[in-house]
Structure 1
Amino acid sequence: MERFINPFSDMGFKRIFGQEATKDLLIDFLNDLLEGEKTVTDITFLDKEILPDFNEFRGAIYDIYCVNESGEHFIVEMQNGYQTYFRERALFYLSHIITRQGRPGGDWHFDVKAVYGVFFMNFCLDDIPHKLRTDVILADRETHEQFSDKLRFIFIELPYFHKREDECNTNFDKWIYTLKNMETLKTIPFKDRKKVFKKLEKTVDLASMTPEERDRYEESIKVYRDYVNTIEDTSHRSWRKGRMEGRAEGHREGRVEGKIEMARNMKAEGLPLTLISKVSGLSAEEIEKLS
């Protein structure tokens, strides 16, 4: 029987990184992620839902959205299922934060604060080197010199992490190992070297939950497992469709049809519209038209 929560479920992820009582866990993770670059001393959580400026435009809903003591913005997301346009979605999300920093009048001179996007992924991106961490910055194509430090993407592809406990040399490794193996662990490792992990152990212990929290967690786990299974089944059938047709175009069409079918199944299960949109990549309007 599991002792600790699944950190990849919606409630599990936000219990660790998205609540005021445990914000020191997020601060510690960000500092380990950006070690040698910057030190975050405090964060303030902001509204995770950003409404569009115009009705016909699309808004954004983040898992975790916060600013640090310097006013820099951090978007932290967990994505369990593959999305064809995931990189474009990440760009859309961070661009939202950039543009919303604008102020009316002539006194504002485009002094935007940096925006960081940190994306945990339980899948692998296409067409990039196979590695755990991909850092994307704005840089000159020829010299590779950084052009601006105001936009930063960090993609963490969890399937590429295979280290054993005794191979985790950096604090970042310790975080990823613990998160990836949390649901099967009997005790949280590295507590003697990372004091904050003592608090992490108490936070993720299922026995520490109230009955109401446990009910919400079990519902979150059900949603997580349902749509992960739906994604895997849909991806397999889409792959078979493309393979049987023997054409790249057929494979692409199969993926599109698969996403529509996945969204239709999730809608039939009564899952939240925002979750269906996040997993499938379809807009709320497209999902509402499905029957």
Structure 2
Amino acid sequence: MVTSKFLSPKNDVAFRKIFGSEKHKDILIHFINDVLNLKASDKVEKVTFLSTIQDPDIAYKKESIVDVLCTDQYGKQIIVEMQVSPQQGFEKRAQYYASKAYSRQLNSGQELGGRYQDLKAVIFIAITDYIIFPDKKDYLSNHVILDSKTYARDLKDFSFTFIELPKFNINSIEGLSSIIEKWCYFFKHAPSTSEEDLKKLIGSDLVIQRAYEALNRFNWSEKELFTYEQEIKRIMDNQAVEDYMKQKARQQGRQEGRQEGIRIGEEKGKLEGKLEGKLEGKLEIAKTMLSKGYSIEDIMLITGLHYSDIQSII
């Protein structure tokens, strides 16, 4: 088996190495500007990394840690998150991450001083390896807070951008027409990109080349590669546990279904037995009444039998 030269940027270890390290700040800045289509004075020129732990009290939980958290030259906070495993309610987690980053800007002293005017905007960017919004066709979606009547954006401090990789269906380099498409291709196909394809892909976008160089396994130390492989193992182990639990749940469901079927069958049998016994008893009464000279109409009235039931014993 041929080992790919380039590692997967979807791996958390690789993702943080490329987009969350001082060494590759230029890649992160380029990526943010490309994804958000920032121009002129809105462009990010520099970033400062912040702690990715959102809540120190529950830092052991994945939910409290983001992949990349930084501020730009204006103090705006930018979260960049890679999400590979499908997770229900991830869009709510995104809002939680953003709100935590927003509220953390004020310490208790500032809150008492009422300095809410100092709060800076929070931008959340997520790349997901599964579909979050099934009703949306486009792989790239931007979400902001708008006035429901005028559509004015009066509340400007939150924005969310999602890239849903399964919706990106350009699988050939010749079909790429924008820098954002090159980034999506990078995330989806980096491990299978050949040197020849890479030359075509790079073109004049040297930062893409830098991103691929950061993924080149020959530029990684043994310790880094071990950590990368451990992350793959962790994901596979989690998937194996999840698959086992699903299989166990299906087996339990089938067993419970069989037991329920047996129970219903037994109850039905008992009911049918009771009804059959009740019918036989009524027929015996009808026979006795016939021998005493009662009319069929009287027997039907007293026993509740049908005319055909009585006819069967005459």
| CA displacement at 1:68 relative to structure 2 | 0.7
Moved more, 147-156 or 187-196: 187-196
What is the aligned partner in structure 1 of residue 193 from structure 2? 185
What is the aligned partner in structure 2 of residue 60 from structure 1? 64
| Mapped pair 1:108 → 2:115 | yes
User: CA–CA distance in 1 between the matches of 2:249 and 2:168?
Assistant: 27
What is the aligned partner in structure 1 of residue 163 from structure 2? 156
- Alignment check: 8 A CA contact 2:48 2:71 kept: yes
User: CA–CA distance in 2 between the matches of 1:54 and 1:233?
Assistant: 28
Moved more, 72-81 or 143-152: 143-152
What is the aligned partner in structure 2 of residue 203 from structure 1? 214
Which residue among 110, 130, 133 is the counterpart of 2:140? 133
| CA displacement at 1:7 relative to structure 2 | 1.0
What is the aligned partner in structure 1 of residue 24 from structure 2? 22
Q: Equivalent residue of 2:115, what SS? A: coil
Q: 1:146 to 1:160 in 2, by over 3 A?
A: same
What is the aligned partner in structure 2 of residue 217 from structure 1? 228
- Alignment check: 8 A CA contact 1:51 1:59 kept: no
What is the aligned partner in structure 1 of residue 78 from structure 2? 74
User: CA–CA distance in 2 between the matches of 1:65 and 1:88?
Assistant: 18
Q: 1:126 to 1:107 in 2, by over 3 A?
A: closer
| CA displacement at 1:239 relative to structure 2 | 9.3
Deviations 1:62-90 (A, max 9, x none): 11111111101011111112222211111
Aligned length: 244
Q: Equivalent residue of 1:62, what SS? A: coil
What is the aligned partner in structure 2 of residue 91 from structure 1? 95
TM-score scaled to structure 1, two decimals? 0.74
Structure 1: segments with no counterpart, 5+ residues = 246-291
Q: Equivalent residue of 1:2, what SS? A: coil
| CA displacement at 1:94 relative to structure 2 | 0.4
| CA displacement at 1:12 relative to structure 2 | 1.2
Q: 1:231 to 1:186 in 2, by over 3 A?
A: farther
Question: Within 5 Å, which residues of 2 pair with 1:242-261?
Answer: none
What is the aligned partner in structure 2 of residue 32 from structure 1? 34
What is the aligned partner in structure 1 of residue 205 from structure 2? 194
What is the aligned partner in structure 2 of residue 173 from structure 1? 181
Two-structure CA RMSD over aligned residues (Å): 3.1
Q: Equivalent residue of 1:110, what SS? A: helix
What is the aligned partner in structure 2 of residue 265 from structure 1? none
User: CA–CA distance in 1 between the matches of 2:95 and 2:250?
Assistant: 27
| CA displacement at 1:105 relative to structure 2 | 4.0
| CA displacement at 1:206 relative to structure 2 | 0.6
User: CA–CA distance in 2 between the matches of 1:84 and 1:225?
Assistant: 19
- Alignment check: 8 A CA contact 2:190 2:212 kept: no
Q: Which amino acid aligns with 2:6?
A: F
User: CA–CA distance in 2 between the matches of 1:122 and 1:112?
Assistant: 32
Structure 2: segments with no counterpart, 5+ residues = 257-314
Q: Which amino acid aligns with 1:143?
A: T
Moved more, 150-159 or 117-126: 117-126
Q: Equivalent residue of 1:225, what SS? A: helix
What is the aligned partner in structure 1 of residue 305 from structure 2? none
What is the aligned partner in structure 2 of residue 284 from structure 1? none
Q: Which amino acid aligns with 1:7?
A: P
| CA displacement at 1:51 relative to structure 2 | 2.2
| Mapped pair 1:143 → 2:147 | no
Q: 1:53 to 1:108 in 2, by over 3 A?
A: farther
Percent identity of equivalent pairs: 27
